[in-house]
């Protein structure tokens, strides 16, 4: 199935159905997957969303709400539903999805919803709400299949059938002892093929990957990607099994982390939502722009210090804009690659050295190539070979600096505990602007005057 792109015809079809009968709405919506209906919700008003949720079967309605983007505020849709309908949907949701949605409400609404559902469901959701949202505990689902290591093959199969009645799908079986301490991972294939007299403890894999509940979600994503897992168990410090994280949850995490890194590199706070208002955008971006303005004054002071050179050689001003701009672009390229590399793995000292050396060589080659072009322009267009030589040296030097700073600054920030995606771009822009102005002006003052 190809990805769903909403178009005007889809929207008109749904809106027309909403003005008709309930049966017509059901017929039209039956042509869409729950995730596609969630996308359609972005173009529909609150009353239209509520009407659709009340018409859809409970199973589909709960899936639609769980698929809605956080910025579409599924919690507002849920809390505005009637008590009976709301209870049906919450009980149908996976515990992790229910927790994510309910936790966005104020305490009174949270309490009201939790009081409406059964004690067991409410207890599981309350337990998940105690974990930080961006940790393994906040990401996990407590619904899983676990079997005691002392069970025989047939007993284990009966237990799995019983537990799976309330689950949509499961990837892995977890073997525990009487205290729910995780002993190993059990393959369904191995269990089915095993001889009748064998017990679970004879079939489990004891060398397995797991995470503690307080591990950051980005680290969880790295582990699942590294070991090609479909799910990973979550345990406490005593190895007691708490829940599981599945690959579909990790896809959401990767999207969230990538969006966050892109916004940070661009100097946009992660607090700014993509669908936020212009007031939110101003509040988020203005502080970074003011900081950038301060660094721009620093770069401008470089030109002031070579005021005599600029007055006597005004043609240099035309070239320094090019050199500074090229340095900024080259630094941004190196920065993007390095931040991505850091986010994927913790670089060793040797890997960091190789990365910096690579960016040095790339900067030197790209700088020399770009500088040669600038030299040719100065030689043939301005008939000034010495000006061309100055700009060749300045371009080469600035792109080398751009590569070095683009690679080394995020690594240094990471070492001292500062998020490299947040602070790197401001520092690197300052470096490349200052060097982009300093090199051509200083070289011109020495070689052309």
Return the number of other C-beta atoms located less than 10 Å from residue 322's C-beta: 18
The whole-model pTM stands at 0.64
Instruction: State the Cα–Cα distance between residues 291 and 430, nearest whole angstrom.
Output: 11
Q: Quick one: pLDDT at residue 270?
A: 54
For the chain, the first-to-last Cα distance in angstroms comes to 68
In the predicted model, what is the mean pLDDT of residues 90-118?
Answer: 91
Does 254 or 152 have the greater pLDDT score?
A: 152
Of all residues in the chain, the percent with pLDDT exceeding 70 is: 92
Nearest residue to 331 (alpha-carbon basis) of 437, 406, 389, 385: 406
Give the count of beta carbons closer than 10 Å to the beta carbon of residue 409: 22
pLDDT, tens digit, 9 for 90 and up, residues 412-428: 888 888 777 666 777 88
**Burial tier of 115 (Cβ tally within 10 Å: 0-12, 13-18, 19+):** exposed
Read off the pLDDT of each residue in 251-273 and give the average, rounded to a whole number: 64
Residue 316 exposure: Cα atoms within 13 Å on the Cβ side = 28
* Token pair belonging to 396: 């080469």
In angstroms, rounded to a whole number, what is the distance separating the alpha carbons of residues 81 and 52?
11
What is residue 297's predicted lDDT score, i.e. its pLDDT?
86
Task: Provide mean pLDDT across the span 263-286.
Answer: 63
Task: Give me the pLDDT at residue 305, please.
Answer: 87
Q: Which pLDDT value is given to residue 61?
A: 94
Domains along the sequence of the chain with CATH: 8-130 (1.25.60.10), 146-246 (3.10.580.10), 278-447 (1.10.357.20)
pLDDT recorded at residue 140: 93
Taking only the tens place, the pLDDT of each residue in 336-346 is: 888 878 876 77
State the Cα–Cα distance between residues 378 and 442, nearest whole angstrom.
Answer: 18
* C-beta of residue 147 within 8 angstroms of C-beta of residue 159: yes
């Amino acid at each position: 199935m190809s990805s769903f792109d909403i178009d005007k015809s889809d929207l008109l079809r749904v809106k027309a159905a909403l003005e008709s009968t309930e049966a017509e709405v059901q017929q039209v919506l039956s042509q869409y997957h729950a995730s596609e209906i969630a996308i359609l919700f972005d173009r529909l008003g609150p009353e239209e969303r509520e009407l659709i949720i009340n018409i859809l079967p409970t199973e589909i309605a709960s899936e639609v709400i769980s698929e809605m983007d956080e910025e579409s505020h599924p919690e507002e849709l849920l809390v505005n539903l009637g008590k009976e309908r709301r209870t049906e949907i919450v009980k149908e949701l996976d515990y992790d999805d229910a927790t994510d949605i309910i936790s966005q409400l104020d305490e009174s609404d949270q309490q009201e919803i939790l009081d409406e559902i059964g004690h067991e469901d409410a207890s599981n959701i309350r337990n998940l709400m105690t974990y930080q949202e961006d940790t393994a505990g906040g990401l996990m689902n407590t619904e899983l299949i676990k079997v005691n290591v002392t069970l025989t093959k047939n007993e284990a199969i009966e237990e799995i059938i019983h537990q799976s009645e309330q689950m949509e799908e499961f990837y892995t079986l977890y073997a525990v002892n009487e205290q729910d301490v995780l002993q190993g991972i059990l393959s369904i294939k191995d269990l089915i093929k095993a001889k009748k007299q064998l017990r679970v403890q004879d079939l489990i894999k004891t060398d397995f990957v797991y995470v503690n509940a307080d591990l950051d979600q980005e680290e969880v994503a790295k582990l699942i990607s590294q070991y090609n897992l479909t799910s990973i168990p979550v345990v406490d410090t005593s190895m007691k099994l708490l829940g599981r994280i599945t690959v579909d949850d990790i896809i959401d995490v990767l999207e969230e982390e990538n969006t966050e890194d892109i916004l940070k590199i661009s100097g946009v706070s992660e607090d700014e939502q993509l669908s936020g208002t212009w007031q939110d955008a101003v509040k988020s971006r203005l502080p970074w722009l003011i900081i950038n303005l301060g660094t721009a004054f620093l770069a401008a002071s470089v030109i002031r210090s070579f005021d005599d050179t600029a007055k006597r050689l005004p043609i240099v001003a035309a070239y320094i804009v090019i050199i500074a701009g090229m340095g900024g672009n080259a630094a941004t390229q190196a920065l993007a690659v390095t931040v991505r590399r850091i986010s994927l793995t913790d670089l060793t000292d040797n890997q960091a050295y190789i990365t910096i050396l690579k960016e040095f060589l790339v900067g030197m080659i790209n700088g020399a190539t770009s500088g040669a072009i600038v030299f040719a322009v100065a030689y043939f267009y301005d008939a000034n070979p010495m000006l061309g030589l100055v700009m060749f040296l300045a371009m080469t030097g600035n792109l080398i600096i751009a590569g070095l700073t683009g690679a080394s600054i995020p690594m240094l920030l990471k070492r001292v505990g500062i998020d490299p995606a947040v602070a790197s771009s401001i520092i690197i822009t300052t470096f490349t602007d200052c060097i982009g102005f300093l090199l051509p002006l200083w070289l011109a003052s020495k070689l052309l005057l």
